[in-house]
Amino acid sequence: MPDNTIPNPPGNGNETPSPEIQYTWKGNWAVNIPIFFALAGFLIGILILNGKGCNTSARYHDLCLENKRAIVDSIQRIRITLLNKKLESLIDRRKKIRPVPEPATRNLTTATQTTRAQKPDSAQLYGDSIKVVKDYLADLHGSLDSLNYLNVDTSMAFFKQYFSIDRDSIRNSLIDPDNKGFKASADSGILVKIYQRFPLLDTGLLDTMRLKVGSCGQENKVSGLMDFFSRNSAFGLWFFLALAQIMMWFILIPILVGIARSTNNIMEVFPYNLKNGFLMTIIPLLVILLFVILVYNQIIDVQIIGDQYFLDGFSGRLTWYAFFGYGVTVLCFGVYLFLANKLQLLNEFSRGARLSEDQALQEKYLALRKAFDLAFLISAIILSIFVLWMGVMFSAINDLEIFRFYRELSGKNFFDNNLVYLNGLLHSVLLLVFYVPVRLQFNQLRLTKEQKDYEDERDSNTKKIFKSFWEGISAILLTTSPLIASLIEKLLSSLGD
């Protein structure tokens, strides 16, 4: 093994031996703390998304029309029975028909020949009718075999040809607070109308039946998580995106605090500590509390995604999940306001000094401005990914069987992607509430104006044009990023359809 030790430099023998290099946890806290926070976020995400307490797994389940095969089987057998009776009746009638004797002479008048030529043969008529009924019977038997032996459950069009459901009946059943559409009693379930109309068999409308909406025969057992994801891959993407998102939230907590505390060395006035940090989060906390209450209780005044759709206790789980997301957003906006205040103080304490001539002042200003822009960028990323995550969840739910059947009937999704668009618009407004006033004040600072003049002197005319354009467009993209995220999700969903 080669010797990797560093030899001591030659000397006169009186040198003090260099201290041995040792690893210290303190020197690596900037890396270790975010890792520990990410691990905490991962554990909390698992408890929210895949656990009731600590021991029992959450129950993920499909949502489908449980007795649709039984109803179609009943319809087909009724048709076969009725057609068999019709076939027997036609055969009996044909047997009772006496053959028509041939005419004794051919010297008939033209009128008589024309009349006999136009009169149909009764035996031939019944023979044609029997052939038509046999063809229908063969088709029905083939369809029954397809139902029993082939995988037709994935084709909603197959079932739509046998019974009719009003789309409002499905919607009312699924959003019913008493979940009547999820029970198989005589007065509940989704009412369907059965049609039995044939060219030779017209029985009108049979008795109406009721479709039971449920979790595909898994009422008494827990579906395995990977088994559920294998049947619904979109939910697998949603689940792991949710875990990655909550880990990102927890990672950003020490990063944001570190960004704010790093400015204590730049300017000792108004340091970022527990007291000042709390003071700067009061306004964001009030704004976001008001935002959440008004949006989720006034604008969205109904429970859009019920607990019965795909995950037990979904509403409570989403409340806890959103609590951490909006909590990190509060911290992010608080750091944003703190850094804006810090820049304001630097502007006040540096009166009499010119930014272009004071190198130390320019370094402090650029460091604060970089941290200021980074804090707002992080808030935009948090809200954008949250909106995108909700869009993925909507798309996954729309792919469940009952909602695919609704789309087959109505031509549109049960959960409209415009709701994601609305959510992105509302979160963009939330960003603008903080961005516009702070940015206007920031642009009025003397240091900001001097820095802009200093940069303009060094730039060419062409560079000035592109730089001004980019500054304007980047501000628009940044503040509307949740809206853009919702549009991207809507585009991807449209391409998927």
Mean pLDDT of the chain: 75
Mean pLDDT value of segment 451-464:
58
Mean pLDDT value of segment 92-120:
56
pTM listed for this prediction: 0.74
- pLDDT score for 54: 42
Query: How does pLDDT run across 166-213, given as a tens digit for each residue?
Result: 667 777 777 765 555 455 444 566 777 766 555 555 554 456 777 777
pLDDT of 469 above 50: no
Find out whether 61 and 216 touch, Cβ atoms under 8 Å: yes
- pLDDT score for 256: 92
- pLDDT score for 444: 86
Q: Which residue has the higher pLDDT, 497 or 37?
A: 37
Query: How does pLDDT run across 46-102, given as a tens digit for each residue?
Result: 999 886 544 445 678 877 777 777 777 777 787 778 778 777 877 777 777 766 565
Q: Which residue has the higher pLDDT, 375 or 458?
A: 375
Give the pLDDT band (50/70/90) at residue 44: very high
- pLDDT score for 309: 83
- pLDDT score for 401: 81
Query: How does pLDDT run across 405-419, given as a tens digit for each residue?
Result: 888 777 788 888 788
φ, ψ of residue 209 in degrees (nearest 5):
-125, 170
- pLDDT score for 31: 82
Q: Which residue has the higher pLDDT, 300 or 494?
A: 300
Measured CA to CA, the distance from residue 58 to residue 223 in angstroms comes to 9
Measured CA to CA, the distance from residue 138 to residue 140 in angstroms comes to 5
Sign of the alpha-carbon torsion through 450, 455, 459, 465: negative
Query: How does pLDDT run across 249-288, given as a tens digit for each residue?
Result: 999 999 999 999 988 888 888 899 999 999 999 999 999 9
- pLDDT score for 406: 80
The contacts of residue 181 (CB under 8 Å, 6+ apart) are: 170, 172, 173, 174, 188, 189, 190, 213
In the 8-state DSSP scheme, what is residue 311?
A: B
Q: Which residue has the higher pLDDT, 479 or 461?
A: 479
Sketch the domain layout of the chain as residue ranges: 36-62+223-496, 64-100+111-214
β-strand partners of 64: 214
φ, ψ of residue 294 in degrees (nearest 5):
-70, -40
pLDDT of 42 above 80: yes
- pLDDT score for 467: 47
Mean pLDDT value of segment 346-354:
82
